[in-house]
Chain A
Amino acid sequence: MKYVKNKYINCNHSLLLIKFYKLMKKMYRFLFLLMVFITAAQLSFAQAQTITGVVKDATGAGLPGVNIHVKGTTNGTATDLNGKYKIQASQGDVLVFSFVGYVTKEVKVSGFTLNVVLSENVSKLNEVVVTAFGIKKEKRALGYSVTSIKPKDINVIGQTNALQTLQGRVAGLQISQTGGSFGGGIDILIRGITSIDPGRSNQPLIIVDGLPVDNSIFAGNVLPGSGSNATGSNEQFDFANRAGDLNPDDIASYTVLKGAAATALYGVRAANGAIVITTKKGKKGKPRINLTLSTSFRDVVKTPELQKTFREGNRTTKIPGAVIDPNVPGGYLRPGSFAFYSWGVPFSDNSFTMPDGTVIDLSHDGFHSPYELFKTGVNTQLNFNISGANDRFNYFFSANRTKDNGVLPNTSFDKKTFRVNAGYQILKNLQFSTSIVYTNTNSVRANGGDKSVFSSLSYWSSTFPINDYEYPDGTQKNYTNGIIDNPRYFLEKSNQKRNLNRWIANANLKWNPYKWMTATYSFQVDNYSERRNRFVPPDLDVGSHVHGFIVDETVNYMGLESDLLLHFDHNWTKDLNTNLTIGNQVTQTERNYAYIRGEDLNVPGVNELSNTINTFAGTSLLRLRNVGLFYSFQVGYKNKLFLNTTGRNDWVSTLPEGNRSFFYPSVSASYVFTEDLFKHSNVFTFGKLRISWAQVGKGPRFGQVGHHFIPEPNFPFNGVGGYRSSTAAGDMNIQPEKDNSFEVGTNLHFFKNRLRLDYSYYTTNVTHQIFTVGTAYSSGLSGVTRNAGDYKTWGQELMVSGDIIKSDNIRWEVYINWSTTHGKVVALPKDLSEIVFFGDRITAKAKVGDAIGTLYGWVYQTTPDGQRYVNSDGKWVITGSDNKGYYYTGTNQMVKVGNAFPDFVSSIGTNFTWKNLTFNCLIEWKKGGDVYDRGYRNALRNGNLKETEFRDQERVLSGEMDDGHGGYVKNTIPLMITANSYYRDWNNYNSAAEVLLKDASWVKLRSIGLTYRFKIKNMKSFDVFASAHNIILWTPFDGFDPEANYFGAGTNIYGYTGLTVPLSQSYTFGVKFQF
């Protein structure tokens, strides 16, 4: 039975073995699976690791919105507001970092953290510009013309008007000063004018940090009840435009949006273009401090040329009306009955014998230039700013004080500006920014226009020193005894004082919840209040009828703006990108105006309304409300072909209820053809073709629609009050004016962007022009505002710039701009034969088919072979359209004699830097453009001008005379040229356009400057600079600088100059500290 025992043990043993074997098998299986798993796990880790990092720029600031994708895949992400990102990638993958305006970087993944620094792309290939509503776009994607200017490219120092600094810098942008007083108004025209109705504004919209600011010019009511022949208050003083309240030193960049395609999103206010300004923001790093001090000297250099040969005397008898004699009471001996003209005997004559035999001693006579009235204006500016930022907070604070005493005695300008720009990062994807600006301006302005300082100056005889203006008791000393005022006395006693306080405050929230969406909301309050005071004593001509007057005015403006924008940006494939912006804009502006005019001063010299006997008062409230909804949609293909469409719908309160809402679209495309054609050319670096079509609307002005009853302006009168029917009515079915613009252009860069060319051609068709059409008075209305007429404008712009030398130590850039702009009246309503802007001996008006800016006048009669006709008296004959008979006889009408707008405007400038020395220069050339100086005829008829020096001698006038047989022969009739026979003869000389209208072409050195930078320990830099502005190099125009406009900007009347503060040259010196 031994067998039984062993068998039993063997069975157990084999069972164990089997069990162990099974266990081992399981274990191996497990291990095998574990190993597989581990390997598999490792493999899968390699396919999807989380890579994180930060993308920064060269200054160390995090860059939000940077696109990162794994090369060759669609796996992508974007950095957050701090530049941080997280992406799934394997080791060895290549990550592509790309961002607008920076050089794209490719980095291989190694490790789990990947920090990248991107460098800015300065090659201008992918240049970014700020377009409407602060939307940044790459220049290559734009289908329309946009020009960007950085303040370092322009000479800001010494200027106070932030927009005037752009003179001559951008083709198609024409900026002129309307008068020479410092801080005075400027006229800004982008691509000429589109609304030809007189009084409709053609000024562009001014945007600061994405929100519009008021740029209006308001003349108020400064005229007395009787005694002034002025056409309106706007010619009486140089009224400032409100964009001048900005501090030019606060500005980081300007973008000029020229055509309707660029401004379509801004709606009705930007129908004439927009200038987008961004102000400086704090940059990361230690705080930066800038301090600039400068002094400028201004002089009136260009004045009319005067004759220095003849003294004051009667125009017929030459009897001197006044002779300086200190021994006589009043200081003047008065042999004649009347002292006014300069038609007397030569200065060289020592005596004059009167008709009754008395001999007057003239040996103390001498020539005294009336332009001794002008002095050197001194201007000082101090500008300080401090800025900085950290991870969450950025700030910029600036303060500026500008003080100017003008080129005329008793005129001045004083401006203080403060600004705070701040931004705060509330959350990772929520940013808040705000800015508050405060400006205070105090100015004292000289009176221009009719019966003013300058009208008196145009008559003033150079026999009498102009600065000898008062007697010891303070009364006026004046050789004319009251016919005109002494200009110096006028300046000392009468002017307009203005005190303005303005603050603009805005708040902005930016929310970035997803990488493909951004929402921004902005709100702004723009508020200013201005007090104005005009004082005219009773002994000045303009105050003589009412025995002196005082006008106190208050202007209160409040502008509210609310903008909501949503951006969506998506890359559908690596070649196709779309972005969409939708937005809503709500605007309200309100101007509250009140004036009190007191006439008949009790005590002549006291400037208080309580010192007046008769008071007249009036108020006006102007309100505008505008709501707009808009979208902008862009498709980009392979970063070389872009298509953009926009649409906006506006609701405007100035339109009648039925037509209040109107929609207008735009479409633009750009094709960067060098991506396809010249991809690897060294010569041709970049080429873009662009084309756009856009429509924009414009409504009527406030209160024009409908018909109302108004208080009778002259009432209450003699105890009676009253109202009357208004003589103006507005069509209740009026529609908005529609501008349809078409633009083509190209941007070409050569030689690695060293040579850049930008060309545009545009044409705009304005239909349904809103006009106040004059109606037959017998209807009871003098004008009806309605849609009437078609108008077309077109032009070209060319900008060429080149970096001639570009090395580390030397940079030399030259740029040339050239532009033309023309307009033509295509159609007018059939009951309107012409639009009259201003009527005078030279009339600005346009008939159907006329170019805009056409000037009409009377001309000399001509013979059939084009020679001037000379009549039997030996004189020319001033005639009209009939070319026979005097201009006021028969059916004679005015004929076209010139055009107020130039043939073209061109400028050339250069910036040259050599180590620490910088030189810049800008020359502007305006060719063409005729003006009529409204002070010229006064000076001519009084014998003050150099051209009247030829007198009391015979001359045979050029031209042809009758030969007695019905034909013509060369003129031989001698004419004795005297005041009465020639210069004062309005039938035969001084009403002719050939005499009155002059070519106002000019070549001006807009600015020239030199800066030297010292590097000093503990300071970032110390600059010393010198510059000069507005120097006239050449002009055929004899008189004051013809750039000045007799009427202010915004009146739409061009072609007239004179009787305003003359423009001056200025020289600036200063230092700038940077810490």
Chain B
Amino acid sequence: MKNILKTVAIVVMLIAFSGCSKDFFDVNTPTGSVDESQLGMNDLLGPVIFHTVYAQYYAERSFGNYAQNFVGQGGSAAGVSSIAGTWSNVYLYALPNLKIIREKAKAVGAKHFDAIAQILMAMNLGIATDSYDNIPYSEASQASNNFTPAFDTQESVYKAIFSLLDNAITELEGPDDSGFKPTATSDLIYRGNLSKWLKTAYTLKARYELHLIKKNGAVKAANAALASIAKGYSSNSDDFQMVFTDKIINPWYSLEVLSKKTGNYHDVICDRLVRYMDGKSFPFTGGVVTRYPRLPVYAQTDDGSDNYKGYVSDFNTGGLSGDGTRANTDFREDGYYTNQSSPIVLISYAEALFIKAEAEFLANGGTTTSV
């Protein structure tokens, strides 16, 4: 009897012992993961910039083909695309983290940081809405609280872009004594130089104002753009570009040079673009101009000749140029866009000047038929 009681006692103790400790089971956190409270704004900034640039890159991959700047090897067109890379970079990687940066910035009163987050948000929204028209924004990035964010109209998204940029400009032009600022080890583009961020905001604003020619009227839109661009970029060193390294190589290089070398899919320069620049074709016939010096900067011929012939966008021709002969123009192996450490540019001084030029043309009464 005593032994039976002893046995039962042991069993009961074991049951009690094994069921009790909650900490015993608290081992379910994946390695390397941290809690939001352990992260600062600077820890989140780098990846956001990286993914914003990649959102641009994925859009370039298809749109450059649509605009016939380049075509797929053998002259193939890009076909129907949803530029899924752009969508996932904007919504999965950029916007949710920007939202968190803004929350943290507001909590500590870091106005300048908040401004940068708003500029980046505007960039993402701009790429997305220019590609997709109506996009989710006001209900987006709420995780489990809203699995079906509604699509906002492009008009409201553009309003949001301007509101973000104006807020950013106000905050950047004002003081900030919170002590938090982007640093060289978190800001991939400007390494903490806030004046360049301010210029970026103005240049972006000008770009989007110029998009509204048909909505706001050419002169009004152009004048708004001119006002903004005056405070925008002033030199090439202001360009918003992300430079690659030999550790993580430029994706254009990876695609157009390395993949080509191993017989994998790559793009080639389109006949249309080459003919705009070779000095021989419409609309600059008759020897008025010589070959545009930019062409050899990013393109090369595969037969070593000096006669650049781009590929016609028509797969059935199997790689012919516009004149019916064999096309020969590829991306340059160490070219401006296709170098191992080439940058990807989101918005540049060159674009600022083009905006200024077009704005002045329109503001002074220019139309599509002006001479």
Contact = CB atoms under 8 A, between A and B. Distances in A.
Nearest to A483: B263
A544 B262 contact: yes
Nearest to A660: B25
B15 A584 contact: yes
B107 to A, nearest CB: 17
A780 B95 contact: yes
Interface residues of A, number: 77
Contacts of A711: 32
Given A703-B28, A727-B92, A779-B147, A545 B254 contact: yes
Interface stretch (B57-65, B136-144, B270-278, B352-360): B136-144
Given A714-B248, A723-B47, A726-B33, A778 B140 contact: yes
Interface in A510-560: 513, 517, 519, 541, 544-546
A117 B258 CA distance: 81
Interface stretch (A29-37, A613-621, A957-965): A613-621
Contact of B92 (A225, A340, A517, A780): A780
Given A566-B7, A654-B28, A721 B46 contact: yes
B185 interface: yes
| Most B-side CB within 10 Å, residue of A519, A725, A781 | A725
Nearest to A547: B246
Interface string B249-293: 101001000110111100000000000000000000000000000
A743 interface: no
A484 B25 contact: no
B184 A719 contact: yes
A545 B258 contact: yes
A222 to B, nearest CB: 18
A722 B44 contact: yes
Bin chain B's interface residue count: 35 or more
Given A519-B7, A720-B188, A564 B27 contact: no
A707 B135 CA distance: 25
B88 interface: yes
| Most B-side CB within 10 Å, residue of A629, A709, A779 | A779
B254 A784 contact: no
A623 B28 CA distance: 7
Nearest to A626: B25
A707 B149 CA distance: 20
A660 B92 CA distance: 30
A541 B263 CA distance: 9
A124 B57 CA distance: 72
A939 to B, nearest CB: 16
Interface stretch (B34-42, B160-168, B210-218, B221-229): B34-42
A831 B259 CA distance: 39
Contacts of A629: 15, 18-19
Interface in A627-668: 627, 629, 651-654, 657, 660
B23 to A, nearest CB: 10
A483 B11 contact: no
A717 interface: yes
| Most A-side CB within 10 Å, residue of B3, B34, B143, B251 | B143
B142 A780 contact: yes
Given A541-B262, A709-B34, A718-B188, A226 B25 contact: no
A625 interface: yes
Nearest to A546: B249
Contacts of B15: 584, 629
| Most A-side CB within 10 Å, residue of B30, B99, B187 | B30
B43 interface: yes
A914 interface: no
Contacts of A188: none
Given A708-B35, A831-B148, A717 B28 contact: no
Contacts of A584: 11, 14-15, 18
A1041 interface: no
A703 B139 CA distance: 28
| Most B-side CB within 10 Å, residue of A619, A703, A717, A776 | A717
Interface string B141-157: 11110111100000000
Contacts, number: 209
A715 interface: yes
| Most B-side CB within 10 Å, residue of A226, A619, A624 | A226
Contacts of A586: 18
A345 interface: no
B141 to A, nearest CB: 4
Contacts of B243: 718
Contacts of B336: none
Contact of B31 (A480, A620, A775): A620
Given A722-B45, A725-B97, A780-B143, A717 B248 contact: yes
Contacts of B29: 703, 706, 708
A717 B245 contact: yes
A653 B147 contact: no
B233 interface: no
A541 B245 CA distance: 21
Nearest to A653: B25
A714 B184 CA distance: 18
| Most A-side CB within 10 Å, residue of B25, B29, B140 | B25
A726 B93 CA distance: 9
Nearest to B316: A980
B26 interface: yes
| Most A-side CB within 10 Å, residue of B22, B246, B251 | B246
Contact of A777 (B44, B87, B262): B87
A316 interface: yes
Interface string A685-725: 00000000000000000110111111110110111111111
Given A629-B15, A718-B243, A729 B143 contact: yes
B10 to A, nearest CB: 9
B34 A723 contact: yes
Contact of A619 (B31, B96, B144, B188): B31
B46 A627 contact: no
Nearest to A703: B30
Nearest to A727: B92
A564 B11 CA distance: 9
A651 B19 contact: yes
Nearest to B243: A718
Given A227-B258, A702-B28, A725-B96, A777 B33 contact: no
| Most A-side CB within 10 Å, residue of B149, B247, B318 | B247
| Most B-side CB within 10 Å, residue of A340, A718, A775 | A718
Contacts of B259: 545
A480 B263 CA distance: 9
Given A653-B25, A708-B29, A888-B80, A545 B47 contact: no
Given A545-B249, A566-B11, A584-B18, A723 B28 contact: no
Contact of A723 (B39, B141, B261): B39
A614 B97 contact: no
Contacts of A513: 3
Given A703-B30, A717-B188, A724-B47, 12 more contacts: A482-B261, A483-B262, A484-B263, A513-B3, A566-B7, A710-B33, A714-B50, A725-B96, A727-B92, A778-B149, A780-B142, A781-B144
Interface of A: 225-227, 316, 340, 480, 482-484, 513, 517, 519, 541, 544-546, 564, 566, 582, 584, 586, 599-600, 613-614, 618-625, 627, 629, 651-654, 657, 660, 702-703, 705-712, 714-715, 717-727, 729, 731, 775-782, 784, 831, 888
19 contacts: A227-B254, A340-B263, A519-B7, A541-B263, A584-B14, A625-B27, A651-B25, A657-B22, A703-B29, A706-B29, A710-B33, A714-B47, A717-B46, A717-B188, A777-B87, A777-B88, A778-B91, A779-B141, A782-B92
Q: Which 7 A-B pairs have the closest CB atoms?
A: A483-B263, A780-B96, A722-B46, A703-B30, A708-B33, A712-B47, A720-B46
Interface of B: 3, 7, 11, 14-15, 18-19, 22, 24-36, 38-39, 43-48, 50, 79-80, 87-88, 91-93, 95-97, 99-100, 135-136, 139-144, 146-149, 184-188, 243-249, 251, 254, 258-259, 261-264, 318
